[in-house]
Amino acid sequence: MLNTNFDLPLGVRLWHSEQRRRGHRLKEGYTFSPLENSPDSYRFLAMPEAGKVEPLLRALAESLPEEIFFILEYYQDQPDPQSDDQPEPTVFYSPYMPTSEILEILKPYLPRLIHDGFVGFGLANNRAGAELFYSEEKVLSFFTDNHIRTMDLLGGQGFPYRPDLLFTTDFGHDHYSLQCHPRESLPEPFAAMNDDDLDYLSFCHELTESLDMYPVEEDLAFFLSRSEQDDIENRLLSHPVFGEFAEEDFGCLLLDWNDFVTECEAGFEGDLYDYRQGLQLRDMIQFAVEGVPPALGHKILDIIAPADSNFRKNLTDVRKRLDPPGELSVREDLFWYRGIVANQGVDLRRDLIRQGWYQP
């Protein structure tokens, strides 16, 4: 049987030579394996035909918590087939919102998100250790700590377990945006849409605006399992101040630290109180790191290593230090209190002068 019998989304097309490869073809199904660095969680990969994607997404979404965030990945710069240097996609996250609300907003966009070859999207709740993502390669991935339930769900949707499952990435193929196809060849609902509606730059921008999404650096893509989040929560609960944040998504705290570092690089516009609030993010991270299993502590430090490195580079006057909070008891030298960021706004510099930072 030839690969032409597999109904791929419009955005991916196998090379003609690949379509003729007998005994090496795409089939519907799924496979799974333990997730690296999170042995109590699993990564499922599924290969659905185009018409099965939306029902499968909705079935998997029912297993997610009541609040989730939306993930959108697309190329803000158009790929140039003549260039060796191809652009990287930008990843956007929405804030946490009710699952039903996000699904309702996505409803008119789902066919375009599924079929466009330059778009990937997903749903996640870091605190629950759950994430699903449908990539631009048109492969569905699902991260979970409940593999039995997920196997039952996939089987109920008609997807058999195939340990040797093949994906589009195993074949030579090309990617197409919806605008690449002749208008007369487009099926519904695309045939009735205008050019702006079919332009992924346009409808993806609409989504980022509607969901108040923000870009996330690629090296900050990480996964913390439910049990890892539980370990972090229990550690934070042991602190008189940090316990107030214990039930929040720790992944958001890691992103907040990165945002603070980025803000300091660009020029910190807040006052000294605001600056200390930013440093407190790193206090909480360090407190968590030193009270969880060592493997998890190293994992957290690896996630924030780029932000830590950038913050160190931005510090000046490192022979001086701000006073750290007295209730923070950790073993690590608090490098973030040694010195002050170079790019100070008016308010921060004023407060430092008043405090005597610049006295000889």
pLDDT at position 160 is 96
Is residue 236 in a domain?
A: yes
Strands 97-98 vs 67-74: parallel, antiparallel or unpaired:
antiparallel
The span from the CA of 41 to the CA of 130, in Å, is: 9
Higher pLDDT, 80 or 74: 74
Q: What is the pLDDT of residue 82?
A: 65
Are 76 and 208 in the same domain? yes
pTM, two decimal places: 0.81
Based on the fold, state whether residues 56 and 181 are members of the same structural domain: yes
Same domain, 21 and 150: yes
Instruction: Judge whether residue 80 has pLDDT over 80.
Output: no
Distance CA 248, CA 250 (A): 6
Say how far apart CA 91 and CA 45 lie, in whole Å: 20
Top-ranked range on mean pLDDT: pick from 13-17, 275-279, 353-357? 275-279
Q: Is residue 360 part of a domain?
A: no
Residue 86 phi, psi (nearest 5): -95, 145
Domain that holds residue 309: 226-355
23 and 100 together in one domain: yes
Last residue in a domain, options 191, 216, 241: 216
Amino acid at 350: R
Final residue of a domain: which of 216, 243, 264? Answer: 216
**Residue 116 and residue 200 in contact, taking contact as beta carbons nearer than 8 Å:** yes
Query: Average pLDDT in the 169-188 region?
Result: 90
The tens digit of pLDDT for each residue in 226-271 reads 889 899 999 999 998 899 988 888 988 999 999 999 999 999 999 9
Check whether residue 340 and residue 246 sit in a common domain.
yes
Same domain, 156 and 282: no
* pLDDT for residue 166: 93
| 220-32-170-157 Cα dihedral, nearest 10 degrees | -110
Give the largest CA-CA distance in the chain.
Answer: 81
| Residues ≥6 apart with Cβ < 8 Å to 26 | 3, 6, 8, 47, 166, 167, 168, 171
Instruction: Give the pLDDT confidence of 49-75 residue by residue, as tens digits.
Output: 999 999 999 999 998 999 999 999 999
Question: For residue 180, is it within any domain?
Answer: yes
Contact of 180 with 116, CB cutoff 8 Å: no
Residue after which a domain boundary falls, among 194, 216, 238: 216
Query: Is 148 within 8 Å of 132 (Cβ atoms)?
Result: no
Contacts of residue 102, Cβ cutoff 8 Å, sequence gap at least 6: 68, 69, 70, 94, 123, 211
Q: Does residue 351 form part of some domain?
A: yes
147 & 279 share domain: no
- For residue 136, being part of any structural domain is answered with yes
Does one domain contain both 241 and 169? no
Q: Are residues 22 and 94 in the same domain?
A: yes
Same domain as 156, residue 38: yes
257 part of a folded domain: yes
DSSP 72-131: EEE-SS---TT-SSPPPPEEEEPPPEEHHHHHHHHTTTHHHHHH-TTEEEEEEETTTTEE
Is 221 part of any domain? no
Q: Both 237 and 207 in a single domain?
A: no
Q: How far apart are CA 175 and CA 180, in angstroms?
A: 10
pLDDT at 193 over 80: yes
Both 205 and 86 in a single domain? yes
Other beta carbons within 10 Å of 223: 20
Supply the pLDDT for residue 1.
44
Residues 216 and 124: beta-carbon distance below 8 Å? no
Confirm whether 111 is domain-assigned.
yes
Total number of domains in the chain: 2
CA distance 187 to 110: 15
Cis ω for the linkage preceding 294 (within 30 of 0):
no
